[in-house]
Amino acid sequence: MTVNGADDVLLVHGGTPLEGEIRVRGAKNLVPKAMVAALLGSAPSRLRNVPDIRDVRVVRGLLQLHGVTVRPGEEPGELVLDPSHVESANVADIDAHAGSSRIPILFCGPLLHRLGHAFIPGLGGCDIGGRPIDFHFEVLRQFGAKIEKREDGQYLEAPQRLRGTKINLPYPSVGATEQVLLTAVLAEGVTELSNAAVEPEIEDLICVLQKMGAIIAMDTDRTIRITGVDELGGYTHRALSDRLEAASWASAALATEGNVYVRGAQQRSMMTFLNTFRKVGGAFEIDDEGIRFWHPGGQLKSIALETDVHPGFQTDWQQPLVVALTQATGLSIVHETVYESRLGFTSALNQMGAHIQLYRECLGGSHCRFGQRNFLHSAVVSGPTKLEGADLVIPDLRGGFSYLIAALAAQGTSRVHGIDLINRGYENFMEKLVELGAKVELPGKALG
């Protein structure tokens, strides 16, 4: 990645426990998709609990390029989205957003319904393994879209109304499930999606679409049936809280021997994480407003951990928790089954003093789709180890926050480069660090 100067570097003076209270708002993995859903409506929508993160700003810009009016609502974190005058956008303007997010791929279905055509630029996102977009386009072809690959992106047309189809996902991909939902709701006839993702954010998106007038049924076998309707209205919806950000702060509290109250954290969507957090030796207390996470003293315990799709242990929880596992006594085994390259971030932790060995084999659990494909997707973490400050370059969103946790837990000062990437999914994270007593600074600038 490219380091963008002093404003993209954070100095972290480690060794201080995080203590205090922060708030998490709407989920990064729901809010931008709910904003895209507003394109499908014939009336304005109100979305509440919206975080100020870069993915939201990217989608807001793309919506405005297509004629959607986006303005603040009556309460903080509320957006009003009016799609009354959807129009084609200039290709060069759309292309200006290329590389900044993977969300543009989800504009395809709604734009095909509203305009009959769509242009999708090259896509960005975190480099954590293969997330092929070819499947998205294949799904859209099944609905009846015509797709032409051009030098600057993909041009799509729907000569006739899109029609429902039967789709079986080879893997319960969240992005592919979202693509089908956003396309099928206005398609003619019934769409049957097998092996669908059923994450809480998917359920919340279905709630949004149902409020707009969609007919969507979820079966217990990961099958979703969507009966297309002729028209959708607007919605009023409060986004579910970001369980991935909440778990990141929980892991930070554990790794730094701290005590953090995460206002907005919700037990129901975090049950699997909470069980694992307790097995490691962390403590938590739940009330109606949030969850308090803390290190109760004594030794942390090593565990065997395997990531999986919901309701399993989420891959986005893995990286922050691995930092805490470097402080656990014994050998912890981590088997990553969702993204084949998500353990690459551990090399920097080893430079800080951690003892983490990566393996190509499926360790500590069932065999997965990466087992015979030469990917380093299992890790053995030996602890506890003292971490020392280092120069760190952020590789991806969750890995980046994990580096922050490691720097906070380490002795000495770390220089963390590329912190702007963390803004993709963590609202006001530097201000939150200061509120929790972290000793951080931007070179030449004061924080707090």
**Considering the domain boundaries, does residue 4 fall inside one?**
no
Residue 261 and residue 275: Cα distance in Å, rounded?
18
User: What mean pLDDT is predicted for residues 303-330?
Assistant: 97
Residue 209 and residue 228: Cα distance in Å, rounded?
11
Domain end point (choices 210, 238, 266): 238
- Kindly indicate the confidence band of residue 3, based on its pLDDT and cuts at 50, 70 and 90: very low
With a cut of 70, say whether residue 126 has pLDDT above it: no
CATH number of the domain where residue 423 is located: 3.65.10.10
Do 297 and 214 share a structural domain?
no
**Considering the domain boundaries, does residue 446 fall inside one?**
no
Residue-wise pLDDT for 343-398, tens only, equals: 999 999 999 999 999 999 999 778 899 987 899 999 999 999 999 999 999 999 99
Q: What is the pLDDT of residue 41?
A: 98
Q: What is the pLDDT of residue 122?
A: 65
**Considering the domain boundaries, does residue 230 fall inside one?**
yes
305 touches 295 (CB < 8 A): no
Q: What is the pLDDT of residue 371?
A: 86
More confident residue, 445 or 40: 40
- Kindly indicate the confidence band of residue 130, based on its pLDDT and cuts at 50, 70 and 90: very low
Do 249 and 230 share a structural domain?
no
Do 341 and 221 share a structural domain?
no
Do 432 and 307 share a structural domain?
yes
- Kindly indicate the confidence band of residue 98, based on its pLDDT and cuts at 50, 70 and 90: low
With a cut of 80, say whether residue 133 has pLDDT above it: no
- Kindly indicate the confidence band of residue 96, based on its pLDDT and cuts at 50, 70 and 90: confident
More confident residue, 119 or 433: 433
Do 223 and 251 share a structural domain?
no
- Please check if 102 is assigned to a binding site: yes
User: What mean pLDDT is predicted for residues 310-319?
Assistant: 96
- Please check if 161 is assigned to a binding site: no
With a cut of 60, say whether residue 1 has pLDDT above it: no
| pTM of the entire predicted model | 0.94
Do 335 and 202 share a structural domain?
no
Do 266 and 212 share a structural domain?
no
For residue 299, give the nearest of 354, 357, 355, 257 by alpha carbon.
257
User: What mean pLDDT is predicted for residues 267-292?
Assistant: 98
**Considering the domain boundaries, does residue 384 fall inside one?**
yes
More confident residue, 302 or 395: 302
By residue range, what is the domain housing residue 109?
Answer: 30-238
- Please check if 90 is assigned to a binding site: no
Q: Share the mean pLDDT of the chain.
A: 92
Token pair, residue 262, equals 């995460």
Q: What is the pLDDT of residue 123?
A: 60
Residue-wise pLDDT for 227-239, tens only, equals: 999 999 999 999 9
104: helix, strand or coil: helix
435 touches 5 (CB < 8 A): no
Do 278 and 163 share a structural domain?
no
With a cut of 50, say whether residue 128 has pLDDT above it: no
- Kindly indicate the confidence band of residue 446, based on its pLDDT and cuts at 50, 70 and 90: low
Q: What is the pLDDT of residue 152?
A: 76
- Please check if 338 is assigned to a binding site: yes
30 touches 56 (CB < 8 A): no
Do 263 and 219 share a structural domain?
no
What's the number of domains the chain is made of? 2
Percent of the chain surpassing pLDDT 70: 94
Domain end point (choices 185, 207, 238): 238
**Considering the domain boundaries, does residue 2 fall inside one?**
no
Do 325 and 227 share a structural domain?
no
Kindly list the catalytic residues.
Answer: 126
**Considering the domain boundaries, does residue 148 fall inside one?**
yes
Do 266 and 360 share a structural domain?
yes
Residue-wise pLDDT for 23-48, tens only, equals: 999 999 999 999 999 999 999 999 99
Do 346 and 211 share a structural domain?
no
Which neighbouring-strand residues pair with 334?
A: 305, 379
More confident residue, 447 or 411: 411
State the alpha helices, DSSP H only, in 235-363. Answer: 243-255, 271-280, 315-325, 346-351
254 touches 293 (CB < 8 A): yes
Residue 26 and residue 242: Cα distance in Å, rounded?
5
Beta-strand runs (E) in 49-184: 69-72, 79-82, 117-121, 146-150, 153-157, 166-168
- Please check if 316 is assigned to a binding site: yes
**Considering the domain boundaries, does residue 381 fall inside one?**
yes
Domain end point (choices 213, 238, 263): 238
339 touches 367 (CB < 8 A): no
More confident residue, 438 or 171: 438
**Considering the domain boundaries, does residue 3 fall inside one?**
no
